[in-house]
A = this chain, B = another copy of it.
Amino acid sequence: MIKKNKTIDNFFMLLALKEAKKGFPYTYPNPLVGSVIVKNRKILSKGYHKYFGGPHAEVDAITKLSKKDLENSTLYVTLEPCSTYGKTPPCTDLIIKSKIKRVVIGTLDPNPLNFKKGVEILKKNKIDVDFVSEEVRKKCIEINEPFFKNMTEKLPYVVIKFASSIDSKIANKYYYSKWISSEKSRIFAHKLRLASDMIVVGANTLIKDNPYLNVRYFKTKKQPSVCIIAPNSKIPENLNVFLEKRDVYILTKKHVYSKAKVIEPVIKNGEIDLYDFLKKIYEMGFRNILVEGGGKTIGSFIKQDCFDKISLLLSPVIIGSDGINAIESSFGLNKNEVGIKLNMKAFKKIENDIYIEFTKPNLSLPFVKGE
């Protein structure tokens, strides 16, 4: 029998989590998963899910070891092992074959096709299954917030991203913004695009900036789709956004396009119903949405509470009050209401800028109890 110790289990799970993060952002829309194989408290191998369609974390760690090493070992994996044929065969099969004695799981898989099934199969095959502490389990869920939202709410995960001056402007009054942020920040912004399957942009910003909205600094098999919020304006189809080989969508009831597909918006209280929009694009297969601007588009997503994360690149520059607002919307605050409260989740320096990530406070993640 393997001696069990919760503190040690938590420790190895945190290592597996570190592995999981290495997959960012290449696994999307699949979750980030990491694993560690341990015997007699020694790490034998580590693995992670490297890219969408590639081997799962368990497979990555298991295939590095000999039959002898694997026998009676403990596998730590941040997400419940899959039990179905997807892009790869079920991991539970390989675990059973490897004669691994015990599997410690970070969190159950929120995908209804897999939920608790992996655990059941392992147990049936006399493999011990254990779980980590609540705190560590939360971390295992947090790294896959987009995946958990997709699976449990059937909605895409929405990231609002903008680079602003310290007075929250994205351009001077002439719409000039080259470059508010440093080069490394711009490269980082492309990494965020890489984790997205759709970039959302407003008509004004698209016409004024004429951006490519593509992933340039990283290799990618597929450029993210683009959706232009343009209920009224007619979008000229010679803009740079149409140069890339990918789908362009336009949210409009008014116009017809040859290079873009039209999504019909629902209008509610005179505004586009963004919740309806998100439901529609989820059904179309989109899982990770990046809202890049401009101010009015970002303002609408915030006002309608249709976002999960705000990724702010704050640059050490002051533009002045005649500049263009990064967030352009009033939220009808009451006299004693200071504003929409967020949670500061992470921050780091990127060159001369500071990157700050905000999520909603008290995010109600689907905490699927495993124990």
Contact = CB atoms under 8 A, between A and B. Distances in A.
Contacts of A242: none
A326 interface: yes
Contacts of A299: 320-321
Interface stretch (A12-20, A133-141, A160-168, A246-254): A160-168
A338 B319 contact: yes
A302 B167 CA distance: 12
Interface stretch (A3-11, A44-52, A286-294, A327-335): A327-335
B338 A316 contact: no
Size category of the A interface is 35 or more
Nearest to A356: B354
Given A167-B168, A327-B167, A331-B320, A176 B336 contact: yes
Contacts of A295: 321
Nearest to A165: B339
B317 A340 contact: yes
A174 B339 CA distance: 12
The 8 residue pairs across chains A and B that have the minimum distance between CB atoms:
A168-B168, A322-B330, A316-B342, A319-B339, A317-B339, A167-B327, A320-B331, A318-B340
A317 B329 contact: no
Nearest to A358: B316
Given A166-B356, A178-B338, A321-B327, 15 more contacts: A166-B342, A169-B339, A172-B338, A172-B339, A174-B335, A180-B339, A302-B318, A316-B344, A317-B340, A317-B341, A318-B339, A318-B340, A320-B339, A321-B329, A344-B353
A321 B317 contact: no
A72 interface: no
Interface in A277-300: 295, 299
Task: Please state the number of chain copies in the assembly.
Answer: 2
A108 interface: no
A355 to B, nearest CB: 11
A336 B176 CA distance: 6
Contacts of A323: 339
Most chain B C-beta atoms within 10 Å of own C-beta, residue among A167, A180, A333: A167
A344 B337 contact: no
Contacts of A327: 166-167, 318, 320-321
B338 A177 contact: yes
Contacts of A356: 166, 314, 354
Nearest to A361: B316
A222 interface: no
A352 interface: yes
Nearest to A317: B339
A332 to B, nearest CB: 8
With a 10 A CB-CB cut-off, give which of A314, A322, A335 has the most chain B CB atoms.
A314
A67 interface: no
Nearest to A342: B316
A363 to B, nearest CB: 13
A179 B338 contact: yes
